[in-house]
């Protein structure tokens, strides 16, 4: 039990504190909420293009050499995930190709040690969203529709905001005949 005097003074403080805190809360909400919601793209990481442990160049592989996306991301047509290729996939070519490049040497080193490369995740959805690559590909959606002109990117960049509004916008187009149930994406 606390001494009575302290309790009383505490009560007085509390009486003051509540309106003060409420005011503060209101003020912060009026300032912060518009900043988050009205300013498009904020909080969605559009334009995110982090440096990767190995400077893999999509423009070289896809743009110059015309390698199909599904050659490396080979599980994308049967899985909800688009797999980041295993190092063994890279080594299919790079056992012979460009073996002197320092980047490839990094790759070879990791491969020989049997360690995966820690790529930085660029396109990320929250845990409560379930996106299925295979379903979209089966419907004939192009990789570029969501991922942009990957064939021109030397470093991969998130070009769309991947927000719910952005998803739903496409799903709502009558020609797409896409479901718009909540459980379509949230399960």
| Residue 138 C-beta-side C-alpha neighbours within 13 Å | 10
**Among 3, 19, 102, 126, which residue interacts with another protein (rule: CB under 8 A)?**
126
- Only one of the segments 56-64, 111-119, 153-161, 168-176 lies at the binding site for another protein (rule: CB under 8 A); that segment is 111-119
- Only one of the segments 96-104, 148-156, 165-173, 176-184 lies at the binding site for another protein (rule: CB under 8 A); that segment is 176-184
**Among 8, 9, 71, 115, which residue interacts with another protein (rule: CB under 8 A)?**
115
47 binds another protein (CB under 8 A): no
109 binds another protein (CB under 8 A): no
- Give the whole-angstrom CA distance, residue 14 versus residue 11: 5
Build a one-symbol-per-residue string for 82-101: x at contacts with another protein by CB under 8 A, - elsewhere: -xxxxxxx------------
Those residues whose C-beta lies under 8 Å from the C-beta of residue 94, and which sit 6 or more positions away, are: 104, 107, 108
CA distances from 3 to 7, 10, 101 (A): 6, 11, 75
- Give the whole-angstrom CA distance, residue 170 versus residue 162: 11
**Among 54, 67, 110, 150, which residue interacts with another protein (rule: CB under 8 A)?**
110
Helix, coil or strand: residue 93: helix
């Amino acid at each position: 039990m606390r001494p009575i005097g302290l309790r009383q003074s505490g009560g007085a403080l509390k009486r003051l504190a509540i309106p003060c805190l409420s005011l503060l809360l209101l003020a912060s909400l009026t300032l912060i909420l518009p900043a988050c919601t009205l300013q498009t793209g904020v909080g969605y990481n559009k334009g995110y293009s982090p440096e990767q442990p190995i400077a893999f160049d999509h423009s070289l592989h896809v743009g110059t050499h015309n390698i199909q996306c599904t050659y490396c991301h080979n599980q994308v047509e049967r899985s909800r995930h688009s797999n980041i290729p295993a190092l063994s996939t890279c080594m299919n070519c790079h056992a012979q190709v460009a073996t002197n490049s320092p980047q490839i040497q990094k790759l070879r080193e990791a491969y020989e040690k049997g360690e995966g490369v820690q790529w930085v995740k660029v396109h990320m959805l929250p845990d409560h969203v379930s996106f299925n690559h295979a379903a979209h590909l089966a419907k004939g959606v192009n990789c570029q529709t969501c991922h942009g002109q990957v064939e021109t990117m030397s470093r991969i960049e998130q070009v769309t905001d991947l927000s719910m509004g952005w998803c739903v916008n496409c799903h709502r187009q009558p020609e797409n005949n896409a479901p718009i149930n909540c459980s379509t994406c949230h399960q």
